[in-house]
Amino acid sequence: MTRIGWSLLAAIGWSAPALAQEAPGDGRALYEQHCAGCHAIDANRVGPAHRGVFGRKAGLAPGFRYSDAVKRSGVVWDAKSLDAWLADPERLIPGQKMYAEFEDPAVRRAIIEFLRTQR
């Protein structure tokens, strides 16, 4: 994770050990705990709304102002692209503006499965 990412997580009370040791069964709870500070299912906040994210081209959530990098990326959100995004957003789309990363693949998988249900 980048220094900015760790600083942001530390500022809001998250730590790498807490993320790594979490029991990843409940995607909704993990989403609420780790994503809802910037995102909501039905409303744009600091980050875009997530309802209908599966199958949507990156940069097209209605009413959200995306970085040029995300708008130009051509990424379509599916389980594979979301996993890459949650693991390292900057690696997937250089120049993007999300500064959270999830090292634990089980946590990513649980969040992704929750998002899949939010049609």
- Nearest Cα neighbor of 101 from 84, 116, 118 is 84
Residue reference for tokens 């499965």: 113
Note the pLDDT tens digit of each residue in 107-116: 999 999 999 9
Average pLDDT over the chain reads 86
Which residues contact residue 36 at a Cβ distance below 8 angstroms, ignoring those fewer than 6 apart? Answer: none
Domain that holds residue 67: 3-116
Number of domains in the chain: 1
Domain containing 89 — which CATH number? 1.10.760.10
Please give the single-letter amino acid code of residue 41.
Answer: I
Which residues contact residue 114 at a Cβ distance below 8 angstroms, ignoring those fewer than 6 apart? Answer: 27, 28, 30, 31
**Total residue count of the chain as it appears in this document:** 119
Note the pLDDT tens digit of each residue in 8-43: 444 444 444 444 444 456 999 999 999 999 999 999
Using 50, 70 and 90 to split pLDDT, how confident is the model at 6? very low
> Rounded to two decimals, what is the model's pTM?
0.79
